[in-house]
A = this chain, B = another copy of it.
Amino acid sequence: MEFFDAIKNRRSIRSYRKQDLTQDLISKLVAAARMAPSAGNAQPWAFIIAKENRTKQALAQAAYNQRWLEAASVVFVVCADMKRAEESYGERGKTLYALQDTSAAIENILLTATSLGLGGCWMGAFREEEVGKIIKAPPHMRPVALIPIGYPNESPPPRSRRPHSEVVLIESF
């Protein structure tokens, strides 16, 4: 796919066909995530790849019972490594850079999924402690997003955008 088409065609996909991702496709998504930029190249992240039904069911529950995610072929549980972030950059590392770095990795996953004919959704609303238990996360690993990925079973139209003049300013506010 041409680069900009992935940017333009990405949607939040919440309905999936019953078709599993091959290992090759999963590997491409992981490769994209790992190539994301990070402050000082610290890479303060971990990616849990959940494929088992019972894991996906538990994650759906922790996400306020959003059961549609169970139909995804895989769910990436993206974690910010707070120990690594703090060692490199203290408080700013934990409260800003670790969140930015994992977000860059997530956007890489979502765009790459689009480019491969797959679809996913960035889920931020879930009980972090419960997700941590499901994936047996050590205390310094903070789950920051659930990213279900699968073959799209819907093709939603583009979402509306705030006016250009409201969000783009020249030189200053």
Contacts and interface: CB of A to CB of B under 8 A. Distances in A.
Contact of A4 (B28, B47, B134): B28
Interface stretch (A14-22, A61-69, A103-111): A103-111
A30 B4 CA distance: 12
B108 A138 contact: no
Interface string A1-34: 1111111101010000000000000001010101
Q: How many copies does the complex hold?
A: 2
Contacts of A52: 171
A49 interface: yes
Which has the most chain B C-beta neighbours within 10 Å: A8, A103, A135? A103
A51 interface: yes
Interface residues of A, number: 67
A108 B108 contact: no
Contact of A107 (B4, B36, B95, B162): B36
A122 interface: yes
28 contacts: A1-B2, A3-B3, A3-B6, A4-B32, A4-B112, A7-B32, A7-B112, A12-B37, A34-B161, A37-B110, A39-B122, A39-B125, A43-B161, A46-B167, A46-B168, A46-B169, A49-B169, A49-B171, A51-B170, A96-B99, A99-B100, A103-B103, A103-B107, A104-B107, A107-B107, A136-B172, A136-B173, A138-B173
* 6 A-B pairs with the lowest CB-CB distances in the bound complex, closest first: A103-B103, A3-B115, A107-B107, A136-B172, A104-B107, A100-B103
